[in-house]
Amino acid sequence: MCFLSDTDLDLETDPDFPDDFQSPQINSEYPMYGAAGYHPVHLGDLYDDGLYRIVHKIGAGDTSMIWLARDSLSCIWVALRMMMADQPSSVEENIVKCHSILARHGQYGGDPRFITYTRYFHIDGPNGRHLCLVLPFCGPNLHSLSNYMKSRMKPQFVQALAYQATDILRDLHARGICHGNIRPGNLVLRIRNLDHLDDQGIYRLFGQPMIDELKTESGRVPGLEAPRYVVGFLDFMSSGEDVLLNELCLIDFDHAFEISSPKTPAPLPDFLAPEVAVGKPASPASDVWALGVTTLNMRSGISLFPYHVDCPAHLITECVKYFGELPAPWEEPYYDKEGRPTSDKTKGCPREVSDEIHSLKQWICDIWDEPMQASENESTPAAPFIVRDEDRPLPKSCDWLSDDISPIINYNPQDIDQLSAIHDNTKRPYPKHYANRVWKPSAFKINGTYLPEDGGVGWFTYLPGNSDVEGNLQSLPRISTQEADMLYDLLRKIFVYEGRISAEDILGHPWFGMV
């Protein structure tokens, strides 16, 4: 990594605004490269016989990387979702089947809310064979917009999007499909059509790609199995103009299945319905449970369940704390050493039992919102920029990059070192054109002090009677009593073991009428 000097940098900032440079992906990405892992990708790479050219990185999922590419034939922007090579054939089968079902209903061509793919192809690389889905170029997912101190959505925006998410799920179920992995990360906003922009137009709008050397803990230089450098994610919220549409799409049909052929998927434990956690097949009701957790996540910025809920056994323990014991007819199974349900008692044991009792109503009442007073932070709203130091020569530490990338992103090699980091703008507020939809808690300053970036105690903030919360958080306004009552009334009909409300019925709930 190229370390930037603390002096001679042309920056216009608030005196107490920390302009830190970070590279959070370095240690997290590398272990996923290698046999059966990610495919190594570089800016400017061509795929599918030269049809697609890589221009930026959009993001990453549990099993894939998503890249922004230019379709040279149609002259449009597309997202290439490159799957890890270890994905079972059933994933491709699920996606293709769901695509076909939606097409039969006449929905894929006319309803942009369901995103499976426009086409797909395969990549044979050093780490194996990768499925690559060609997707429309969409905007940020709801996890990135509702992520505790990093970003929060305004209450009215949450209600509007939660209604859309419910409507999408209702229509998906009506077409005979269960999604199997409903969560904020799989709900994305659409964006305005940007096909008229060329590469440099994209970079002017969202910023140049931030890059850094890929390092290993051992110091070993990676081979062909890994990229020469890693690329930071495109920052939708830094755009100098409003590109977001208030319209949701549902993505990631990897775990989807036909309702008539139920399966037991394995999504993130946070969003797993309790019946699926104990080994029962998923159903539309399981999607509804995940929708409830997603809605609460959107409204609060965090998960209902604490960070250590990393397996079905832990999830059930937390569910019992909030919602009582499981129904006796379920005959709760034993769990293996990974916390997964097993019918073989010789390979498992009962889950951990706790006598704690938590209140969902109190949890909801403790949701905090944006302060009414204006922030004291006068820093310039987030906008992509490159730190420049015109007189400094290219340091030898950047020799790993070479000149091959400079014509791709239109940078002189003398400037490459300024690209070799991922900028942390947690203290910069969002641009004003997004102010009626989202706000950034970590950029909010009260009484001369910024709100803590990590909130001090994370999910623990919400536990009833907790007094270990930093002072500024204690002063934040809470959700209104009226909304808390309505949201609780909705969620108590979702968070039940049996007799769960349907997506169709959720749409008629008065909580949505508060928009």
Among 391, 424, 457, identify where a domain stops: 424
Q: How far apart are CA 209 and CA 349, in angstroms?
A: 49
In a domain, 289, yes or no: yes
Position 451 confidence tier, pLDDT thresholds 50, 70, 90: confident
Q: What is the CATH number of the domain that holds 17?
A: 3.30.200.20
The answer on 186 and 48 residing in a single domain is: no
Per-residue pLDDT, averaged over 54-79, amounts to: 94
* pLDDT tens, position by position, 455-498: 543 444 444 444 444 556 677 899 999 999 999 999 999 999 99
The answer to whether residue 103 sits within a structural domain is yes
Whose CA is closest to 289, among 463, 494, 505? Answer: 494
Q: State percent of the chain over pLDDT 70.
A: 79
Q: How many domains does the chain have?
A: 2
Domain boundary among 424, 457, 480: 424
Judge whether residue 501 has pLDDT over 90.
Answer: yes
How far apart, in whole angstroms, are the C-alpha atoms of residue 313 and residue 190? 36
Of residues 103 and 238, more confidently modeled:
238
User: Bigger pLDDT: 418 or 453?
Assistant: 453
Residues 326 and 447 grouped into a single domain: yes
Do 203 and 279 sit in the same domain of this protein? no
pLDDT for res 457 = 39
What element of type H or E holds 20? strand 20-22
Tell whether 230 and 300 lie within a shared domain: no
Q: What is the pLDDT of residue 515?
A: 57
Of 19-33, 102-116, 382-396, the range with the lowest mean pLDDT is 382-396
Residue 429 lies in a domain: no
Mean pLDDT of 65-75: 97
Please indicate, yes or no, whether residues 123 and 166 belong to a single structural domain of this protein. no
pLDDT of residue 424: 58
CB atoms within 10 A of CB 466: 11
Residue 432 lies in a domain: no
- What does the radius of gyration of the chain's CA atoms come to, in whole angstroms? 24
The secondary structure of residue 379, as a DSSP letter, is P
The answer to whether residues 419 and 330 belong to one domain is no
Same domain, yes or no, for 489 and 365?
A: yes
Same-domain check for residues 314 and 187: yes
CA 470, 476, 479, 481 dihedral sign is: positive
301 and 172 co-located in one domain: yes
Q: DSSP of 400-444, one letter per residue? A: TT-STTTTTTT--GGGGGGGSSEEE-TTSPPPGGGTTTEE-GGG-
- Please, what is the average pLDDT of the chain? 82
What is the rounded average pLDDT of the residues 125-152?
A: 95
Checking if the pLDDT of 251 tops 80, the result is yes
Cα–Cα distance measured from residue 452 to residue 191, given in angstroms and rounded to the nearest whole number: 31
Pair (358, 480) in one structural domain:
yes
Give residue 428's pLDDT band: very low, low, confident or very high (50, 70, 90).
confident
Please check the confidence at residue 109 and state whether its pLDDT lies above 90.
Answer: no
Structure tokens at 124: 């044979």
Q: What average pLDDT does this structure show over 241-256? A: 94
- How is the chain split among helix, strand and coil, in percent rounded to 5? 30, 20, 50
pLDDT of residue 399: 53
In a domain, 30, yes or no: yes
d(CA 268, CA 56): 27
Asked if 103 and 109 touch (Cβ cutoff 8 Å), the reply is yes
For the cut 80, the answer to whether the pLDDT of residue 373 exceeds it is no
Q: Are residues 217 and 288 in the same domain?
A: no
CATH number for the domain that contains residue 494 = 1.10.510.10
**Mean local confidence (pLDDT), 82-98:** 90
Shared domain check, 407 and 318: no
Segments forming the whole domain that contains residue 90: 1-137+195-242+383-424
434 is a domain residue: no
Most confidently modeled range among 99-108, 289-298, 352-361: 289-298
Per-range mean pLDDT, top range of 212-226, 239-253, 406-420, 470-484: 239-253
